[in-house]
Structure 1
Amino acid sequence: MLWLYNIAIQLYGLIIRLFSPFNSKASFFLKGRRNIFAKIEKKIDSTVPHIWFHFASLGEFEQGRPVLEKLKEQYPNKKIIVTFFSPSGYEIRKNYALAEAVFYLPLDTAANAERLITAFNPELAIFTKYEYWYHYFKALHHKNIPLLIISGIFRPNQIFFKSYGSFHRKMLSYVSQFFVQNEESIQLLKTINIQNATLSGDTRFDRVAENASTPKKLSLIEKFCGNAPVFIAGSTWPEDERLIALLCTSNPEWKFIVAPHEIGVHHINEIEGLFPQAIKYSTFATDETSAEHQILIIDNIGMLSSLYAYGNIAYIGGGFGAGIHNTLEAAAFGIPVIFGPKYEKFQEAKDLIKIGAAKSIQNINELNAAFTTLTSTGNEGDIAKNYVTSKTGSTDQILQYLSQYLKP
């Protein structure tokens, strides 16, 4: 199986090169890894031990960020290196202040793993949620470098638990400790004889609770909202936006803020076509009638987690595609949430539905009904916030475990 894995990695690299002239993400992926080891060796002193955090993308970064930041707070002299697999994480966090350096992760080959770990000289490696790379894990294991998976989550349909998944189970055997989100993950790992797993919950709860406790003041958003009730649509895709446009038309007394997942010019133009009376955030300050508009389109990245402070209800996008985005950011601010049908992979979404703080919808009729229900009784937001608060504490549990490796 190893030979097949190695071929797949090389094919992936080839596909990225073929698509890079036509796809911006592929282009960033390729350019960011060009001469990557020269960049690493120029910036990193390999004689100094480092703590290596790896994240698949921006969402995993925000998930693991509480651990990174608290670790740095408790051990300020420790040097941290961050790597990303995806451009959506690297391009936004490449200048992250608490890291000595931020890099793209080179493709997972035996040579790359050996060279990277020699350059990083990690005393500890921490991966968030998923990203299982055979050669990196094996190299860390052979050098006796502790490897942690935090906020991990496992499902029965994953290849680890299939009869033909022995190669992927081998990857898991290289992990020193798993910190997982739910009891199901603990039990699944036991079925493949992995006992080194701890139920810690999801570090995202710590992150979103902290964010909600110290909200940023956004003057232009305050001006737009005025005294009207506000509907926040976060991380939306076209299928979401078409439904929201219909909801907006039937609720003229509400203000709508739409923060799409993709903010390229083409997509922003599509959204403007759906909401012809909307104003873009980038032109808001110069428009004398800006506060009179009903719809505001957020055409930048980085504001969404603060926008929820101004909402009365939120719609979380992605539920008509690969899966919903982060519901917890909104719930932490004490507002109920709505999302599309693909949410089964997300425990918090299922929990929020169960306790009455969220609704899943498939069409405009269901969206109208969910909107009416969640804005009528008034206590769903409190239920959502209490749910988030009750799930905090994962970061402290992980840091307590790490203390055996990290002396002040």
Structure 2
Amino acid sequence: MLLDFLYNLSIYIYVGLLKLIAPFNKKAKLWVEGRNNLFNKLKSDAERRQLRSRSAKVAWFHCASLGEFEQGRPVIEAFRKQYPEYKIVLTFFSPSGYEIRKNYSGADYIYYLPTDTPENAKDFVKIVDPDIAFFVKYEFWKNYLTQLNKCKIPVISFSAIFRPNQIFFKFYGGFYRDLLHQFNHILVQNESSLELLKSIDIDNATLAGDTRFDRVKQIVDNKKDIPVVAQFKDGHQIFIIGSAWQTDMDVLIPLINELKDGTKFIVAPHEIHDAEIEIWRNQLTVKSVLFSDTDEVKDLESYDVLFIDNIGMLSSLYQYAEYAFIGGSFGKGLHNILEAATFGMPIFFGNQSYQKFQEANDLVQLGGAFPVENMEELKTLYQGLKANEKKRTKAAEICSNYVLDNVGATQKIMEVVESVVKK
């Protein structure tokens, strides 16, 4: 009881703090405002759904943010194809997921997740009335799981990953271990996660793999041609800087200025801030152009750097590239390298914050990816590959084959889903 009280208290405190900083923080403001009148909308949508079809079943998918959504997306789409009679409710915890995917056509209803208080969990489950619930990767909300179990609604966690230092595996982690027992099934990404669960007597677990591989395979199969980029490429090799932060550009801008070997660069910032992009452009000694200005440029082939000032294009950009640098690893953490890998190219990233990403460790060990400390190390590695096409091609094949060798998680997950749905 004490731990329940402390858990619930922490939720209330967290919400209170977000409300305090919301006037001064854009993400906090979106988080708070996105939940205003949420239950009224839930009730209204539920009433309309019941008027259309009182027998319609509901599948609820919850993702923390955009990254988890990309992992969940292949399963959402496979579920919809296999069970078209279900309405799909999709929820997000974070604005970075909801605001970008609030118009996703693969779900019938998309909301922010109400905070995990006992009252919210009870009301949400009662209103939405799901027949099955899915939590993607790291989502373990105590009150929602308790309420779903109380209502005998099957709950599946997929693309989950566990590490020995997580609280579930500490001697004092009993409260959180109990949460894992409330899932009907947990599908994990790797063998070590499966062994960790077995060590705490979680037997309803299966090794399925990472659905992100299925997602990036979908991206390759459905890539969009971008004529402007093809014109910009103009027969040159392309080096893409994907999900770039300031700390990444501190390394890349000197490299771009120093290289005179005909390679062109495409820069896709992690977040679009016009002022920041303008600062980067002013630091370059070569010609650069914004994607939004390319319609007005007659000699696009003469530019050396193309800045992408929109969201949603990056995954298709990689088809034009021979090299990629993926941002984030000089800061809080490496961004998605699998999109670049699936198109086949050597991948570079900072050497500080990539170790917790299994795919980064695997590709470094295999020889397809290269962590770098600074501009000089990046330049040496890049020029070595540039001068040896056979070596570059080998690294590229390592990356693309790595993705192909790991597809199939969605199918394994759907096999478990089928057994649960039939029950």
For the criterion TM > 0.5, the same-fold answer is: yes
Counterpart selection for 2:365 from 354, 374, 384: 354
Aligned-pair distance for 1:75?
Answer: 1.7
Which residue does 1:180 correspond to in 2? 188
1:258 paired with 2:267, answer yes
Q: 1:371 aligns with which of 382, 390, 404?
A: 382
Cα deviation 1:236-294 (Å, max 9, x = unaligned): 11111111111112223111001011112333233333336321111121222333211
SS in 2 for 1:288: coil
By percentage of residues, which structure has more helix?
2
- Report what 1:333 is aligned to: 343
What is the rounded CA distance, in whole Å, between the counterparts of 2:24 and 2:83 in structure 1? 44
> Do structure 1's residue 316 and structure 2's residue 331 form an aligned pair?
no
Distance 1:148 1:273, change over 3 A: farther
| Contact 1:275–1:295 (Cα < 8 Å) also in 2 | no
Note the 1:36-115 alignment, pairs <5 A: 36-44=38-46, 45=49, 48-115=56-123
Match of 1:275 in 2: 284
| CA–CA distance in structure 2, aligned partners of residues 266 and 99 of structure 1 | 35
**What is the total number of aligned residue pairs between the two structures?**
407
Cα RMSD after superposing both structures: 1.4
2:305 maps to which of 279, 295, 310: 295
Q: 1:337 Cα shift?
A: 0.7
Query: Shift of residue 340 of structure 1?
Result: 1.2
In the alignment, which residue of structure 2 is the partner of 1:400?
415
Residues in 2 aligned to 1:405 and 1:195: alpha-carbon distance in whole angstroms: 16
The answer as to whether partners of 2:63 and 2:91 remain within 8 angstroms in 1 is yes
Partner of 1:381: 396
TM-score (norm 2): 0.93
CA distance in 1, matches of 2:281, 2:30: 27
Q: Distance in 1 between matches of 2:123 and 2:283?
A: 50
Q: How far apart in 1 are the matches of 2:274 and 2:25?
A: 14
Cα separation, 1, equivalents of 2:160 and 2:102: 24
Code of the residue aligned with 2:371 in structure 1: it is: S
Structure 2 distance, partners of 1:268, 1:291, is: 21
Contact 1:124 1:147 in 2 (8 A): yes
Within the candidate set 126, 130, 138, 2:146 is matched to 138
CA contact (8 A) 1:336 1:357 kept: yes
Provide the secondary structure at the position in 2 that maps to 1:397.
Answer: helix
The 3-state SS of whatever aligns with 1:154 is coil
Letter in 2 for 1:98: G
**1:200 Cα shift?**
0.8
Superposed displacement of residue 18, structure 1: 1.4
Shift of 1:324: 0.4
**Structure 2 segments unaligned to the other structure (5+ residues):** none
Cα deviation 1:277-321 (Å, max 9, x = unaligned): 321111121222333211111111100111111100111111011
Partners of 1:189 and 1:230 lie apart in 2 by 44
Cα deviation digits, residues 100-135 of structure 1 (max 9, x gap): 110000111000001111111111111111121110
Query: Matches of 1:58 and 1:370 in 2, distance apart?
Result: 32
Partner of 1:125: 133
Percent identical residues: 44
SS at structure 2 position matched to 1:379: helix
Please identify, of 373-382 and 34-43, the stretch whose mean Cα deviation from structure 2 is larger: 373-382
**Which deviates more from structure 2 when the two are superposed, residues 6-15 or residues 272-281?**
272-281
What SS does structure 1 have at the residue aligned with 2:268?
A: strand
* Cα separation, 2, equivalents of 1:184 and 1:379: 29
Q: Which residue of 1 aligns with 2:8?
A: 6
Moved more, 264-273 or 304-313: 264-273
* Alpha-carbon offset, residue 330 of structure 1: 0.5
- The CA distance in 1 between the partners of 2:20 and 2:243, in whole Å, is 28
CA shift for structure 1 position 391: 0.4
Correspondence 1:132-211 to 2 at 5 A? 132-211=140-219
Contact 1:340 1:362 in 2 (8 A): yes
Which residue identity lines up with residue 339 of structure 1 in the other structure?
A: F
Letter in 1 for 2:319: A
Letter in 2 for 1:236: A
Asked whether the equivalents of residues 63 and 128 of structure 1 are also in contact (C-alpha less than 8 Å), the reply is yes
CA distance in 1, matches of 2:349, 2:341: 13
